[in-house]
Structure formats: structure tokens, C-alpha cells
Structure 1
């Protein structure tokens, strides 16, 4: 195609997209039904995973819940069943690739094709670079990043074959903005955001427009994994609030879900402000939580 014509089409697309976004400010986006979907949620025994399972249960989705703790996943399942949902539970260590693949085969054989995959399982070790241990770094990436590859590779083929499905990546605002003493976590969440954006581009290039993607990026959530978090400018979120925002984003096929939405402003400032101002802004936020800091002495 002629380059001038391609640029003209690009400009028209930009104008149309902005007009569409303006209209959506006043007209609520159409929500899809998930009552007939098979929804698999990793890390479903606690926190965002449990709250998300409960939200899907309210929509009568068939739930497949994975968790490393049998007790946690069964508690979640009981709550979902009380809401009338059909629930299947599996004890899975998402740091183990072979365990993910073998359990995925059981799901496909005994339950059916997963149509909504929520990659939620995650770990965090709050420590600076010199204090975080090697096995903790490895475990962080195995669960927070590599597990996304293994689960998606297991369930995406059926979604692509049917041109229907939804892959959800639970990331973090820490996947866009670095936070001190969370170097392992931030690095893994940057990778998770990259996984989402690249997968989105790949599905589009392959013409699989019926397979949707969403990425959740909240600020601190009160899950208990980070001890005593506090900030001056941003809230500490409740899991139920985050799960409701996530489900709303899934039902409207929203690509990037920031909670709160004001996180977008911080991302914008991160691009335009000088480094010295960003350092001052970071101090102004007073982000605090329990952590391990190296004393600088030789070991």
C-alpha cells in the first residue's frame, strides 16, 4: 500500500479512536456474559484470587481453582458454591512447569476447554538487591512470570481454535514504576506487563480478535503478603474492590486496568518529569512497608 495512504488511514484511525473514547465516557460499555464460561484462576486460595473467584461465582461461571494450599482453595470453593457456582479445585504449585502441564491436561480431559484464564498466582519478597536470596529471586520469576507462559501455552490453543477466550494477567503498578526494596517483585511484574502487551499484539497479528486480553495493575492491596504497607498519596486497596474492578474490566474487554485509575497520572509524570523531580515525588509519597535491608558489610 502507498505510504501516504497508510499514514492517512493511521490519522483517521487516531481521530476515530479518540471520538470513540469520548463517546464511551457518556455511554456505558456493553458487558459480555460469562455464565457459560469455564474460568481458571491460579492462586485462588487467598487475596485477589479468592475475591475474583467470588465475583465470577456471582455470574454463575464454572470455576476451576488452582492453589498451592489445599485448605485455602477449598475455603474459596465453599464460598463460591454457596453462591451457586460449579467449582473444581486442584492443588498446584505454579513454580513447577511439569505440575502445571499435567494438571492442565486433567482439566481439559475432565472439565473442558478453559475459556477465561486468570494468571493470578504470585509471590513477593520485600528486600533490597543484596538481601534477597537467590532462591527467592528464582521463585519470584517462576511464579510471577514463567507460570504465565506455561498456563497460557496449555489453554490458549483451544481459545485460538475457537477464536473465543480471555487471558488475564494479574500484574501491578509496580510493573510500570519501580519501588525500592521490591526489586525482585518489580522486575517480575514488568515482565508480566510485557507478556500481556506482547501477547495482545501477537493475537492481533494472527487475526484472533475473539481472544481478548486484560492486565490488572493495582497499587498496594491488603492481602497480607506485604506487611504494614502505607503511602501518603495512594490508598491501600481491599481485595474485593480490586476484584470488582477486574471483573468490570474483563466484562468490557478492557486491555489495561489500573486501580485506582489515577495511577495513569503517575505513569504520565514518570515520562515527562526530570529525574530529580521524580525522586522528590517518590519521597513525597512516603511508601513504607516491612522489609529487609542489607547493612553494607562484607559477608
Structure 2
């Protein structure tokens, strides 16, 4: 009897949730208020981190900005205040160092309060083929892009669980959904970040903490300088993304409790193809879309921008 009842429940919910998803294509989701929330953004000193901070600035939140660059962080803070941010707090933090993450997190909790929206944005890329990448850079990539998420969650999730309120945001990558030639360590780090975020989200649900939301962001290459030199074979289908556009979409996804955000929209179709097509055909399509040569002209961000 339990089998029949549970199967019937799954069938009914399948129809309901598919209908709900279809209607959301035409009816915009209601945005939640974030007034009074404490938003922490890692890697806030430049790029997407800075732009996300500026999108949040006029929404009545208090901002906590983490970056390894004090100068970049201060500039983001200045711009956020110009945009109307209530309070902005800056901290220098090396997200690749667990001890530093815990130290600065304790400082934030003492001086500012409990973080309610955590945006793990800090990221690095080596841009080298696997056999050419030094061990130290591979380790650094995993420490910043993946392991830092473990430590920030450990630091700030307990307060969210106590209040059954919060939002965990992982700025991952489409490279965390499909392998890319020349990005082995980066792909591994982003696959790890996505798997980690998904698993913790499930743990929150099974623990009854349904007030803690999760958003996982998987964009294609963004024109922030991080992937300078990378080329896209079919720019109309897979364009190099405008950073301001991406930041707006990220904040909108947070405000509407969107669980997954893939950019551009073509990524949703490509990911569906990956899961249903024969492997050999997938390889043919990968070559067609240029996935084997994205990184051939990679230069990356100049060191002076770090």
C-alpha cells in the first residue's frame, strides 16, 4: 500500500511541479525583501563580486566585503556607498587559507553580526592544460574555488540554521557542469562547488530548515578579464557575457529564490543534450560548439588587476 500511495504522490507532484515550472516561464516570480539582511560577498574587490555588491547596495542591506586586495575592496565599498548602501564593512581575507577564513569570519560575527546571505564568489583560474599546470596552482584553484566554500559554510551556516533563515549562493560556472579542454583543475573545482552546494541544500531540507535557500549560478565565460583571450565559436548562441548583465541576473535569482541559474539560456538546452545524447555524438557537438579550443588563446587577467 505504501508503494502505491507514494507512487501516486510522485505522479501528482510531477504534474503539479511541471505545470508550475511552465507557468513561471510567463509569470514573473515575486521578489522577496532583503531589507536588513547582512550580505557577505567573497571576491568583492573586482569583477562580478563588485557588481553584485553594487546591485545589492540600494536594497536596504548591510554589506560585508571580503577580498585579498584591500585596495579593490575599498573601491567597491566607496562605489556601494554612492549607490546607497546602508552599511559597508570591508575585510582582507585569503579564501585559500582555512585559518584566515575562520579568523575573519569570527571577526565579522563579533563586529557586524550574523551573515544571512552568503555569496561565495571568489575564484581563480590557471588556464593551463593539466600536465602543464604546476601542482601549487592546481591546489590553489581547489582551495579558492571549492574548499573555501566548506569553511565559509562552517562559519556562517550555524546561525542560519538556528534562525531557519538564510541564503547560500555559489557562483560556480558552466565549467562545473561539463568538462572543458584546458580547464581540468578549474572544472574539477567548480564541479566540486556545485556538488557541495547541492548536498548541503539537501541536508537543510532533511533537517527541516526550509527557510535556508540555495542558489547555484553557472555562467559561461564572463568578460571580467579573468578569461581574457578565450574565444567563442558561435557568439550568438554562446556569447561572452556582459558582467553587469550577469550581476543583475544573479541578484534577481537570489531575490526570487531561484535554485539554478544558467547563463546564457542556451546552456539549459546544452546540459539537457549532454545527459540524453550518446557520448560519441556529445563529443561531435562539443567540437561543433568549440569546446575543444575555448582556451587556445587564453591570456587571463593581468597581474596588475589582482
The two structures have a TM-score, normalised by structure 2, of: 0.93
| SS state at 2:89 partner | strand
What is the Cα deviation at residue 288 of structure 1?
Answer: 2.9
Contact map agreement 1:181 1:291 (CA 8 A) in 2: no
Partner of 1:260: 264
User: In the alignment, does 2:277 pair up with 1:273?
Assistant: yes
| 2:168 aligned partner | 167
Partner of 2:77: 77
> Would you say 1:97 and 2:94 are equivalent positions?
no
Matches of 1:149 and 1:156, distance apart in 2: 10
1:53 Cα deviation from its structure 2 partner: 0.5
Cα distance, 1:291 vs. partner?
4.5
For residues 12-43 of structure 1, what are the alpha-carbon distances to aligned partners after superposition, in whole Å with 9 as ceiling and x for unaligned? 11111112122222322110011211000000
The 5 Å alignment of 1:138-287 reads: 138-233=139-234, 234-286=238-290, 287=293
Tell me the CA shift for residue 258 of structure 1: 0.5
For 2:241 and 2:216, the matched residues in 1 are separated by 17
Separation (CA, whole Å) in 2 of partners of 1:275 and 1:52: 37
Gaps (5+ residues) in structure 2?
300-306
What is residue 119 of structure 1 aligned with on the other side?
120
SS at match of 1:130: helix
Counterpart CA distance in 2 for 1:23 and 1:239 is 28
| C-alpha separation in 1, matches of 2:60 and 2:124 | 29
Provide the rounded CA distance (Å) in 1 between the counterparts of 2:207 and 2:126: 37
- Runs of 4+ residues over 4 Å off in structure 1: none
Query: Who is 2:18 aligned against?
Result: 18
Deviations 1:33-84 (A, max 9, x none): 1121100000001111011001011213100000000111111111001112
The aligned counterpart of 1:297 is none
Is the CA contact (8 Å cut-off) linking 1:214 and 1:255 kept in structure 2? Answer: yes
Aligned to 1:36: 36
Does the 8 Å CA contact 2:66/2:90 hold for their aligned counterparts? yes
Q: Secondary structure at the match of 2:203?
A: helix
Tell me the distance in 1 between the aligned counterparts of 2:221 and 2:252: 19
2: CA distance between counterparts of 1:288 and 1:18? 35
Match of 1:53 in 2: 53
Greater shift in the superposed pair: 55-64 or 38-47: 55-64
* RMSD, aligned CA: 1.3
Deviations 1:126-155 (A, max 9, x none): 111110010001001100000000001100
For 2:50 and 2:258, how far apart are their aligned partners in 1?
21
3-state DSSP class of the match of 1:281? helix
Query: How many Å separate the matches in 2 of 1:17 and 1:275?
Result: 30
Structure 1 residue 210 displacement after superposition: 0.3
Structure 1 residue aligned with 2:302: none
Q: Secondary structure at the match of 2:131?
A: coil
For 2:294, which of 284, 288, 294 is the aligned residue?
Answer: 288
- Residues 1:68 and 2:74 aligned together: no
User: 1:277 Cα shift?
Assistant: 2.2
Report the alpha carbon displacement of residue 273 of structure 1 after superposing the two structures with TM.
Answer: 2.1
